[in-house]
Structure 1
Amino acid sequence: MPGRFYLTAPQAEVSAFARADLPPLAPRLNIAPGEEALALTAGGPTTMRWGMIPVGRTNARGRPVMDTLVNARSETVFDKSAFAGVQRAVVPMNGWYEWTGEAKRKTVWRLRPKSGDVVGFASVFDIWNGPGGVKVPQFATLTCAPNTDVRDIHHRIGVILMADQVQDWLSGDEETARALMRPLPDGLLKIEKADDVDLAYVGH
């Protein structure tokens, strides 16, 4: 499941995927949890923080749980109270990174579509109401069971949407959305060890 991703495609390709004119985008090789990222919503493109403080989560003492959720399981996201009232978003990207191996000896893998196309993570979002009236748009990417491309690297994969699926995810009914929450078909991903340029950004 994505822990870091990147968006380095030319502006025109990202705008075509979004079907919208976008503000200037700088290439980003390492988008990490807690950072803002481009997100597409039914109301248009915007930026949001990656990581949700979910509603209604409390600890054993009944106090709010403030830990952020970066990823959410697609199988249960529409059924859990922690995600009550969320809306849908798509987060454009070129690819993402996964790690295998033991601590301090991890191998970093770069995963991306063989086509080179911009694709998107199916996501959910809401607005967190913080102290002092602060409002923070926030999203979590959705995950599902892996396809055979990814199975040896990770037990989950992000729900990946192609350009022609974006509007169905954003504006379709729940049945339509659930039908999209499935692994990417086998054979569409290129998986390779990250090179030195990547490692300088994402670390080990």
Structure 2
Amino acid sequence: MPGRLFLTSEMAALGAVLGQDMGDLDAQVPRQNIAPGEQIVTLTSEGFQQMRWGIIPVGRVNARGRPVMETLINARSETVFAKTAFAGVGRAVVPANGWYEWTGEKRRKTAWRIRPSDAVFLWFAAITDVWKAPGGLHVAQVATVTCPPNADVAPIHHRMGVLLEQGDIPFWLEGNEQEVTSLMTPWPEGRLVIEEATGVDWEGA
């Protein structure tokens, strides 16, 4: 499952792929290491925008009725449309050039960079919501959807993000829940390149 992303392409190139104007996002600097809790480029049916990576589930409150601050960066495809915590969420797509996973013991972990072998971008299926924080602040938030791994990813992680074909993006964004269930499957084997990641600042990883 994606725990860190990278989006190193220029925003103009991303917009050109889908024929969309990136607006203010066009000035965004390419990023080698995108961590949960940060703002990420997200596509909805209304276009591209920035959202915080991590959802504070709808309706989660503690015994005193205060909002639970725990955030979820990923949602399991098997339960995303069934859990009450995700009731009423919208759908989005998170574009990236790839993501990172780690193997090994703490302090001796190996970082792996995973990218497409046949394209520039990967399109992660995601859910989105607006969190109403104390004080009236509204925060647009997003979480990627995960599924079991394909044979390429299985040796390094037990989950992977649901990846969409570019042509299926409108279907994911606007189809009903039953229709889009067919998209939440492991990515076909042989279409990802997995290589050891070096030269990246992993502070906070």
| TM-score (normalised: structure 2) | 0.92
Letter in 2 for 1:195: T
The residue correspondences of 1:28-47 to structure 2 (distance < 5 A) are 28-47=31-50
Give the aligned partner of residue 54 of structure 1: 57
Give the aligned partner of residue 13 of structure 2: 13
1:75-113: per-residue Cα shift (whole Å, max 9, x none)?
100110000000000011000000000000000000000
Q: CA deviation at 1:54?
A: 0.3
Give the aligned partner of residue 102 of structure 1: 105
Give the aligned partner of residue 29 of structure 2: 26
Q: Separation in 1 of the partners of 2:203 and 2:193?
A: 18
Letter in 1 for 2:19: R
Q: Structure 1 residues 114, 43: CA separation in 2 closer, same or farther (over 3 Å shift)?
A: same
Identity over aligned pairs, percent: 55
Give the aligned partner of residue 75 of structure 1: 78
Residue 163 in 1 paired to residue 163 in 2?
no
Residue 118 in 1 paired to residue 136 in 2?
no
Cα RMSD (Å) of the superposition?
1.7
1:94-153: per-residue Cα shift (whole Å, max 9, x none)?
000000000000000000000242121100001000111100000110000000000000
Q: Separation in 2 of the partners of 1:145 and 1:78?
A: 17
Q: Is contact 2:10-2:29 (8 Å) kept?
A: no
| TM-score (normalised: structure 1) | 0.93
Q: Structure 1 residues 188, 35: CA separation in 2 closer, same or farther (over 3 Å shift)?
A: same
- In the alignment, structure 1 segments of 5+ residues that lack a partner are none
Q: Is contact 1:17-1:119 (8 Å) kept?
A: no
Residue 127 in 1 paired to residue 130 in 2?
yes
Q: Secondary structure at the match of 1:133?
A: coil
Q: Structure 1 residues 60, 151: CA separation in 2 closer, same or farther (over 3 Å shift)?
A: farther
The structure 1 residue matched to 2:181, chosen from 175, 178, 181, is 178
Q: Is contact 2:59-2:85 (8 Å) kept?
A: yes
